[in-house]
Structure 1
Amino acid sequence: MEEAAAYHMPYRLRRLFATLLVYFPPINPPALWNKFEQAMSEDYNRTSTLPPEQIRLEVLHQISNFLDSMGKDINSFSLVSTTLRFRDRYTNTRDTLSELNIQVSEADLLAIAQLNAEQKTAFHHIMDAIFVKQKGCFFIDGPGGTGKTFLYKALLAEIRSKGYIALATASCGVATSILPGGRTAHSCFKIPIDMNPANMCKVSKQSASANLIRQAKLILWDEAPMTHRHGIEGVDKLLRDLMDSTELFGGKVIVFGGDFRQVLPVVTKGIITDFIEASIISSYIWPQLTKLHLNQNMRAIANPQFTAYLLRIGNATEPLIDDTNIRVPDHLLIPYTNEDESINILINSVFSDLTAFTDENFSLINRAILTTKNEFVDELKHPYTELSWTST
């Protein structure tokens, strides 16, 4: 601190002071505050006409904001003899302002009018819970391609366009990247990576994160089946604590979403168990969720037979061969003759006419050959073009 005070601006010094309190706690925080209060107040003393006591409060308030962003309460360090209460004067913290400043795109607002019948039913159920009942817990179940993300964006747009806060979270980073203002559930609710039930969701009730969660009209959690039940149970306990409520998730409106067909079964001692209750959502939470089902595949709407085939596979109702394999329909297969000829037939089937691809459409980038290993990518490169493929 002495070295930093010699050349850092007061703002940087205040941030450093807050960081030290959290990550390198001094033995006597009040003594450290008294020693460097003047250095951390220098800009206010030079430019402001406020009395000394008011300047001290302004400096402490900014330090409090830094501590809030790190999940700590300034009063826990006892820097001054009195209890500091900044929430009454400054209700909008940096996290809250960041959420309120999320721009709602015109496309997402238009999505509300473009919902299909199943999506509209789910949309109105959730809106009723938010603005009429003011509580409700939902699970949106739907295979890939049924428009879950499209519905999420419509929900977020409706809430945010009215000036309210909607938290968009997901279990993995890839899913958060397609949600406006999305962040991981681990980040939002401070879920530990090791999912230790004894150390779940450490959010101070006086922190900026707690204030943001309390203000949220809607909490959206995509890819919920990818999270162990300890994480969801931890968030339930956190919200009950923050809202001072015994209701499920503290009475907040929370929407889970995902597809259990994409989750591998849980094997315990050689026995395949029910992964819905065993590892994903505990038995006391799952029955209390209102299930909203999406079945209409919007990606393959022009091919209902293929959609039905995918659903049979996901629901484990497609007949098996030798009790282990699923038969792929002949019209989806490239007949094998020899290695070179079959590869050429595959390439020509996917990229049948390269002259048909122009700058005006995106047919080329919407076509791909996927492989399981990078070595197969080199084998599948077209000998007459510069096209290349990537393994997945």
Structure 2
Amino acid sequence: MGLMEDDREYVDGISIASELGSGSQLRKLFTRMLMTNLISRPQEVWRKSWTLLSDGILYDRRKALNIPGTGKTFVWNILYAALRSRGLIVLNVASRGIASLLLLGDRTVHSRFSIPISINEISTCNLRQGSPKAQLLKKASLIIWDETPMLNKHCFEALDRSLNDIMKTQSTHGYDIPFGGKVVVLGDDFRQILPVISKGSRSEIVGSAINSSYLWKHCKVMKLTVNMRLQNATSTSTAAEIKKFADWLLQVGDGTVKTIDEEKTLIEIPPDLLIEQCKEPLLELVNFAYPKLAHNLQKSSFFQERAILAPTLESLEEINNFTLAMISGDET
């Protein structure tokens, strides 16, 4: 009757199973689907589901190669693994897609919690009582949310309202308490990217961060103090170089780095971080950050390990133009 021609039912089945199943279990499910010989276009089902089916592979390879990971990501994955080993449900999410790839679970907050893109002070998540996502949140013992400073505080408040609504049917005392009584770990550094407010003033940007929310008074602040990258350095010279760069970044974040103007708005960049003599500085930057880009497009780890921070939209558009030219075969 043509009801199965687009294989949508198989894609939906994998998506629903991902709410409770691990990546390994999803791959076994996909294998069984293939063995039934009923999928008309297996490549299309894979293309639409590969991010779910690949869950955990990166972690398994790092474990097999004895690569422990670094910093907070390592802590999040240890917490995740410890609770999952006891049969408990842990939801690992991140504010950005690239960051989510480093976490076990591999989901963004907007995907996992259905947080609206257009957010305000009265927004709620698109979670219906009794839906699979709502049921999953009811059963979750821990939520780990990475890169929290970069999202507007209304995102956290929307989840708080939705969790209170979901949990009120399960426990009378779970209503009107932070996140419906769920334990939520919020991670990252406020010295990094804050929420983006279009043409916003300094006070508007600061006022939109999570530490300006009514939820912040319920948070217990804990700090990571050991630089894991130094622990994994292969030589003394490498460790010294990493420490020097890490210390400089901390000084920039704390506002104590050396400035070169009276208004303290311009800082001095160390010479080893500068591209001083070249015909195309931007092209050199792209080549440095993404060597042999056209040959590495299909490798997710290639993009997980590098990024170019662009201060303005115009800079980002320039970088995109260079990148597209390189991919199309114009790289030199």
| TM-score normalised over the length of structure 1 | 0.51
Compared CA separation, residues 289 and 198, structure 1 to 2 (3 A): closer
Compared CA separation, residues 208 and 314, structure 1 to 2 (3 A): same
- Note the C-alpha offset of 1:162: 2.2
- Residues 122-178 of structure 1: per-residue CA shift (max 9 Å, x gap): xxxxxxxxxxxxxxxxxxxxxxxx611111111111122222211111112111222
How many Å separate the matches in 2 of 1:369 and 1:257?
20
User: Are 1:247 and 2:188 an aligned pair?
Assistant: no
The residue that corresponds to 2:187 in the other structure is 257
Compared CA separation, residues 305 and 204, structure 1 to 2 (3 A): same
- Residues 338-381 of structure 1: per-residue CA shift (max 9 Å, x gap): x56x98xx99xx8xxxxxxxxxxxxxx9x999796478789x9x
- Note the C-alpha offset of 1:185: 1.0
The residue that corresponds to 2:267 in the other structure is 326
- Note the C-alpha offset of 1:210: 0.9
- Note the C-alpha offset of 1:242: 1.4
Bigger Rg, structure 1 or 2: 1
The residue that corresponds to 1:308 in the other structure is 247
- Name stretches of at least 5 consecutive residues in structure 1 with no aligned partner: 1-5, 16-64, 70-92, 116-145, 351-364, 381-385
- Residues 323-349 of structure 1: per-residue CA shift (max 9 Å, x gap): 32111234555665xx56x98xx99xx
SS at match of 2:213: coil
Name the Cα RMSD after superposition: 4.6
Compared CA separation, residues 200 and 277, structure 1 to 2 (3 A): same
Percent of aligned pairs with the same amino acid: 36
Any residues of structure 2 matched to 1:1-392 within 5 Å, and which?
Answer: 8=3, 94-99=17-22, 101=25, 147-244=71-168, 245=174, 246-264=176-194, 271-273=201-203, 275-299=205-229, 302=239, 303=241, 304-322=243-261, 323-330=264-271, 332-333=273-274, 339=278, 373=319
One-letter amino acid of the counterpart of residue 327, structure 1: E
Compared CA separation, residues 288 and 328, structure 1 to 2 (3 A): same
Q: Would you say the 8 A contact 1:266–1:274 is kept in 2?
A: no
How many Å separate the matches in 2 of 1:162 and 1:110?
22
| TM-score normalised over the length of structure 2 | 0.60
- Note the C-alpha offset of 1:288: 1.4
- Name stretches of at least 5 consecutive residues in structure 2 with no aligned partner: 27-54, 169-173, 234-238, 289-302, 309-314
- Note the C-alpha offset of 1:110: 9.4
Compared CA separation, residues 171 and 331, structure 1 to 2 (3 A): closer
- Between the two structures, name the one with larger relative contact order (CA 8 Å, sep ≥ 6): 1
Larger strand share, 1 or 2 = 1
Q: Would you say the 8 A contact 1:108–1:153 is kept in 2?
A: no
Number of residue-to-residue matches in the alignment: 251
